[in-house]
Structure 1
């Protein structure tokens, strides 16, 4: 029987499930193995070297799961160490920043792009650098939104407090007159309705998860690693903390019952 290799994905929690959802739609025959580092989330405020170490440990674990590609489905982990991950492992490894930056450059009309992300992602200026490399004339305005991750992870998006936080974070970007906003954390598409409501219909939201799924497909096709036969694959989900909250949020976001297993990497 032919062995089936999977796409491995990692994030600090549930945010990377936005990439899982996009890959499910774009590459329905692929099997995925997901690791959410829920015991150590959020990554945003942590030291970059610490986050890099977490990611390297997770990729080592994912390699025990017969994977053919790794998607670092976390903006913070991508920003602090993508080049190093690529050097240390002999499989295709992609992040979420360059695909999101390219999509934003294509969509902006007035060359004013906003970026929202964790403290770590914003501090790294990774999106600004990526966008300026493509088009130096684009103005980039960044805003750290650290509480957004906690709102998503704790299933608090329907609360009055969530709206107040969103208005507080996003007001400066509205005042800059941006026409394109990069959701620079994979948690943020889960709250895209609220973000769009605050920003208004004239601002285009860029989901880096969607752009990343298209890049993954292109690489798998180029390297002839695509799974093109129809199979009913059971994806695997692992977390470093308790499973209850992850299972509830994942099941709601992916519209199916999700059961994750706890793995301790320390």
Structure 2
């Protein structure tokens, strides 16, 4: 069942009000895609308590846990909680290494793990053994941890480059703040319709997507996504003129509207309209 998400992550009270015995949940509590929201503590507790009581499985997809840019230590997974017997933690190396590796993993409690392994053996052929041995050695020797540190630094630089271009427009065209997780920025236009802004960005060669395009339900925030992870800093900086050409007219229009509103509030416009004109 599609479930609502807000700035506190998955709306757990809404979900539990519709849950039945042995319901299951699939969620991304560390960083929700595409909003970047993380599941708040009280909602985590509520979900874990419900699962401990009813035994319903929770599928925890930790797809972006390594990519946070707020300087804070990532929140521990639900699976690391003492009430997590029914939590199945899943992730992959698609984003941290490369998708063609086709290597994922899961962590489950022993009884559930045995059931999953039996089902896996019945339905899936064995994967490529070297593709499993080499990453394991890479992890054991510390290479993977070093790689993650380099990757985090590289992605931060790319994110900072995009933010440097957008920072002059925060507060006028785009609402601050922006999300601190994920490999894209979630941008909330102040007055513009996000769908219209996406079309204008695409027209000048900048790939963007509206949050509405990624939603199952119609009621979603007025927001759009801009990615940065797959572009070198030079490519991001090269896109700056196109971004400015799209956003500058909105700034001019916004400033003009504010000036008109200020004049109207002060009564100057009304006074000007009341004075007769003798020109001509």
Q: What range describes the TM-score normalised by the shorter chain of this pair?
A: under 0.3
Return the TM-score normalized by structure 2: 0.27
User: Where is the strand percentage greater, Structure 1 or Structure 2?
Assistant: 1
